[in-house]
Amino acid sequence: MKIIVGSYVLLYHTINKKWLIKVEEEKKMHTHIGIIDISSIIGLEYGSTITTTLDKKIYLIQPTIFDYIMKSERNTQIVYPKDLGYIALRSGIQNGSKVLEIGTGSGALTTFLASIVKPNGHVYTYDINPEFMKIAKKNLVKSNMEEYVTMTESDIRNGISLQDFDAAIIDLGDPWTIVEHVYKVLKGSGAFLAICPTMNQAEKTAISLKNNYFTDIECVEILIRNIEAREGMTRPSMRMIGHTTYLIFARKILSIDSKKDTPVNN
């Protein structure tokens, strides 16, 4: 596949030196490994190699959603790839899903969710912070996911007219306050998944879910370790991210009549 003007390209030198750029004519990029002539890559195939003015190799990679997320503009903590994959799989999100996201943040998770539900599904995302919404918009446009997302600047605790969501993904500081609101707009057996950096948030959210007709409640933490696989000296990396977040998942049960019928899980 050929690179054209307007294409996005991941300029890859090493794992720690890579840039996600948009191809434009007459663009040059100054880096500490030399100048990269962006216009020179127009017409090349993805997978090609160019060199900087300091003769360092740059590989031209077609960016994936992973790359867009890792290189997204952000002013909030993003959800990490190790967590994203599990969120999608556990919540059952796939092509065609109708997904509610509460807490757009910088849009990294939104981008990922849109990439999964497309082309037949849709993501409805809510945030109360207009600054976040602007950045999220830019990230969605860059990754070409804009058409699969509807952004709304409001607090869903004030009401929401949509219904029958397949899944709701919550990235708020106080997810337990939103449980009953989410309950109303999920379809039967629909998925609730909240991102909870602290154990206190996870605990409060679990309690709220147990008290609000949710079942299959599961709280997990995912860790990723890099392995340095090298001939005769393979070992895990010395450095590691020790924690990002807990993930808490549940599924909605239709209530029959009263709170005394609350399902008890475990």
- Please list every residue from 123 through 182 that binds a second copy, using CB under 8 A: none
Tokens found for residue 127: 């945030």
**Among 86, 128, 137, 155, contact with a second copy (rule: CB under 8 A):** 86
* Alpha carbon distance 36, 231 (integer Å): 33
Residue with tokens 């019928």: 261
Cα 126 to chain centroid distance, Å, stands at: 14
- Residue 28 beta carbon to a second copy: minimum distance, rounded to whole angstroms: 22
Which x/- pattern, by CB under 8 A, does the window 43-82 give for a second copy? --xxxxx-------x-xxxx-xxxx-------------xx
Q: Judged by CB under 8 A, which stretch of 30-38, 98-106, 127-135, 224-232 contacts a second copy?
A: 224-232
Of residues 35 and 240, the one with the C-beta less far from a second copy: 240
SS3 208: helix
Q: Judged by CB under 8 A, which stretch of 29-37, 98-106, 153-161, 230-238 contacts a second copy?
A: 230-238
Please give the C-alpha separations between residue 90 and each of 42, 83, 122, 172, 194, in angstroms, as whole numbers: 40, 11, 18, 19, 12
H/E stretch holding 134 reads helix 130-142
Residue of 218, 178, 223 whose CA lies nearest to 202: 218
**Among 158, 161, 234, 258, contact with a second copy (rule: CB under 8 A):** 234
- Residue 248 beta carbon to a second copy: minimum distance, rounded to whole angstroms: 7
Q: Residue 259: left (phi > 0), alpha (psi -120 to 50), or beta? A: alpha
Q: Does 220 bind a second copy (CB under 8 A)?
A: yes
Of residues 128 and 219, the one with the C-beta less far from a second copy: 219
Q: Does 263 bind a second copy (CB under 8 A)?
A: yes
Of residues 48 and 152, the one with the C-beta less far from a second copy: 48
Q: Are 247 and 219 in contact (CB under 8 A)?
A: yes
